[in-house]
Structure 1
Amino acid sequence: MPLNTLPVLSLADDPAKFAKSIGDSFKTFGFAMVKDHGIDADLIDRAWKLTAEFFALPEMEKLSYHNPAIAGARGYTPFGTEIAKDAKAHDLKEFWHVGRDLPEGSPLADASMPPNVWPARPEGFKDLFEELYRQFDETGATILSRIAVYLGLDEHWFDPAIGDGNSVMRLLHYPPIEGLDGEAIRAGAHGDINLITLLLGAEEAGLELLYKGEEWISASPPPGALVINVGDMLERLTNHVLPSTIHRVRNPDPERARFSRYSMPFFLHLRSDFAIRTLPQCISPENPDRYPEAILADDFLQQRLVEIGLKKKS
C-alpha cells in the first residue's frame, strides 16, 4: 500500500489490535477508514433518501426551521452561511443539525444545546434520525474507548467526558455547481472543532485531506465504511500527538457538476463543562505542553463558531 493511502480498518477486529491500528492511522494521517462499524445499513439507506427529500423542499419551508440566535446548533442552516476559518469565500452547502436531547432540568441545556427542531416533512424524519444519532453515538463511544487504550488510558476514560456531550449529526447538501467563478468551493480547507468526526461516505467524491501539510489526497471511503478523523479538541487534549488534519471538499469534475452531493458527519463532542487539559503522557521534553491553561469544551466551541461564521462576536 502506498504511504499516502489510508488503510481500511475493521471495528470487528480484536480490540487491542484495532486500538493500535486506528491510533497509528490517526498519528500518521489524522484520519482512518473503518468498516464493520455496526451502524445499520438499511437505516443509512433510508437516511440518504430522507435527506435528499428534505433538501428538495421549497426554500421558504426550509428557512422556517432556521434560527440564527442558536448559531446553527439545531435545525436548518441556509446555503452559503458557513465559512472555513481564514477563508475568503463561504462554503457551497446547506445543512441540518440534529443534537442530543438532554434530560429534563439538565444544567447543560442552554443556547449551545437547545431542544431539537423537527420538520413537518418528510414523513418519518424525526424517528429515523433519532435512531441514527443513537447508533452514531454508540459507535463513536466504542472508537474512543480504543483510542483511550492507544493513549495508555483506561478504556472507559472518555465515558464521563462525553456523557451528555454536545455531539451533533449534520445532514449536508452540496447543490449542483454550474458556471461558478471565484474561490468558493463546496467546503473550504478546515479542521473540525470536536473530538472525533464519524462520516458516512458520499456517493459523489470530493473529500480530501492535506497529507503531511503538503499533498491533497483522497479520503473517500469504500462502500459501507466510515471516515473517522481527529478534531481540534482531541488534538489539544493529546498535545498534537494525534493531529487534527486539514481537509476540504473540492468542487466536482465538470461531468459531475450537475449532481448534488450529500454527506452525513457526526461530530462527537465532549460535555460542555469538561475542562480540556493536556494529557500528562502526551507531554515530553521533545513535545512540551502547548496548552498549559485548560479550557472548557463549550468555551472552545464558542470561539470556533465565531471563526466559521455561525455565531456573531459578542
Structure 2
Amino acid sequence: MDLDTLPVISLGDDPGTLSARLGGSFRQFGFAMVRDHGIDAGLIAEAWRLTAQLFALPEAEKLGWFQPGQAGARGYTPFGREIAKGAQHSDLKEFWHVGRDLPEGHPLLGPSMPHNVWPTRPEGFRETFAALYGEFDRLGARLLGQIAVHLGLAADWFDAAVAEGNSVLRLLHYPPVPDQPGGAIRAGAHEDINLITLLLGAEEAGLELLTRDGRWIAVTPPPGALVINIGDMLQRLTNHVLPSTTHRVRNPVAARADRSRYSMPFFVHLRSDFPLVTLPGCISAGNPDRYPATITADDYLQERLREIGLKA
C-alpha cells in the first residue's frame, strides 16, 4: 500500500474482498475513501446549497437557535466555541447539529439526545437534512457491517448498538481567514470521539491526517466520494487494532483565504447506554487490554465534550 495515498474503494466491490480492503486502509491510515456509496447526488447538492444559505443568515438570527447548556448537542454553535483537546486556540468555525429524532417518552430522550432544533429558514432545511441524516445512518450501519466482518465478528454485530445511537450530522462553516489569526487554524489537530465518521468532501482543500511516521498528508477525495475515519470509541473497542488518527483542517493558502469552507461530517455513535468493553478478539499477549475498566458510550462522550470546551 502506498504510504502517502489513501486508496479509493468502491462499495460495489465483491463482498468477499471489500471488508479486507476497507480494513487494510483503516489499519494503515485510520481513514479510507469510498465511492459508489449510493447517496443521491441531488440530495447532496441541495444540502450544500442550504448549508451555505444557513450560515449566511444574520448572526442574531443564528444565535436564536443556539441552545446554551446543551454542549452543542443540537442546533447552532457559534464561531470559536470548540477547541481541540490540548490546543491553545479555539477552532475557526461555526456549526449546526442535526441528531436522531426520538419520540416523546423515549428512554434515551434527554440532555444527551434532545429534540432537534429546526430553523425557520432556509426553506426546505428540515426535509432535506432529515432525509440526508437517514441516508448517512443507513450507510454508517453498512460500513460498520464491513468492519465487523474484518474483525471476525458477525456482520450484524454493530446493528443493535447503533440502531438508536446518538449519531450527529454536523454542518460546518469555516469563514474566510484573510489575516492569519495568531496560531489559530480552522480545526486544530484532533481525533474524533465516535465510532466512525462519514465525511462529504469539501470544495475547499485543507483536511490532513497525521501518518504513523509523523507527517501530515492531504486527504482529497475525488468528486462524489466520501472520507471515512475511525473514531476513539472504535479504537477503544478494538484495543487500537483500528487506530483513531489525528487530523486537522489547515488554513487556506493566501490565494484562497477569502473563501469560506463548508464541510458535512456524520458522526456515527453508539447507543448512549452501550458499555465500552474491549472486544476479546482484539486482545492478545502482544496487545494486552488497554481498557479493563468499562464506561458507557454517553459517559465517555461527556468526558470528551468537557475536554473540547463544549461542556463545563
Task: Please tell me the residue identity of whatever aligns with 1:193.
Answer: I
> Mapping of 1:264-275 within 5 angstroms?
264-275=264-275
User: Does residue 185 in structure 1 map to residue 185 in structure 2?
Assistant: yes
Deviations, residues 212-238 of structure 1 (Å, cap 9, x unaligned): 050000112110000000000000000
Write the distance in 2 (CA, Å) between the matches of 1:121 and 1:206. 29
Shift of 1:3: 2.1
Task: Please tell me the residue identity of whatever aligns with 2:267.
Answer: F
Shift of 1:103: 3.2
Deviates more, 1:197-206 or 1:99-108: 99-108
User: Does residue 306 in structure 1 map to residue 306 in structure 2?
Assistant: yes
Task: Determine the structure 2 residue equivalent to 1:237.
Answer: 237
Task: Please tell me the residue identity of whatever aligns with 1:142.
Answer: R
User: Does residue 95 in structure 1 map to residue 112 in structure 2?
Assistant: no
Task: Please tell me the residue identity of whatever aligns with 1:35.
Answer: R
Shift of 1:297: 0.1
Task: Please tell me the residue identity of whatever aligns with 1:120.
Answer: T
Task: Determine the structure 1 residue equivalent to 2:167.
Answer: 167
Deviations, residues 170-210 of structure 1 (Å, cap 9, x unaligned): 00000000122311000000000000000000000000000
Task: Determine the structure 1 residue equivalent to 2:72.
Answer: 72
Deviations, residues 214-265 of structure 1 (Å, cap 9, x unaligned): 0000112110000000000000000000000000000000000000000000
Write the distance in 1 (CA, Å) between the matches of 2:27 and 2:294. 23
8 A contact 1:100–1:168 mirrored in 2? yes
Write the distance in 2 (CA, Å) between the matches of 1:181 and 1:232. 29
> Mapping of 1:18-97 within 5 angstroms?
18-97=18-97
Q: In structure 2, the residue corresponding to 1:85 is in which secondary structure? A: coil
Aligned-CA RMSD value: 0.8
Write the distance in 1 (CA, Å) between the matches of 2:290 and 2:121. 47
Shift of 1:55: 0.2
User: Does residue 220 in structure 1 map to residue 250 in structure 2?
Assistant: no
Write the distance in 2 (CA, Å) between the matches of 1:200 and 1:125. 18
Shift of 1:294: 1.2
> Mapping of 1:235-314 within 5 angstroms?
235-312=235-312
Write the distance in 1 (CA, Å) between the matches of 2:256 and 2:191. 26
Gapped regions of structure 1 (runs ≥ 5): none
Q: In structure 2, the residue corresponding to 1:264 is in which secondary structure? A: strand
Shift of 1:285: 0.5
Gapped regions of structure 2 (runs ≥ 5): none
Q: In structure 2, the residue corresponding to 1:9 is in which secondary structure? A: strand
8 A contact 1:205–1:220 mirrored in 2? yes
User: Where do 4+ consecutive residues of structure 1 move more than 6 Å?
Assistant: none
8 A contact 1:16–1:146 mirrored in 2? no
> Mapping of 1:141-152 within 5 angstroms?
141-152=141-152
Q: In structure 2, the residue corresponding to 1:146 is in which secondary structure? A: helix
Task: Determine the structure 1 residue equivalent to 2:107.
Answer: 107
Shift of 1:104: 3.1
Write the distance in 2 (CA, Å) between the matches of 1:189 and 1:298. 23
Q: TM-score, normalised by structure 2?
A: 0.99
Q: TM-score, normalised by structure 1?
A: 0.98
Shift of 1:163: 1.5
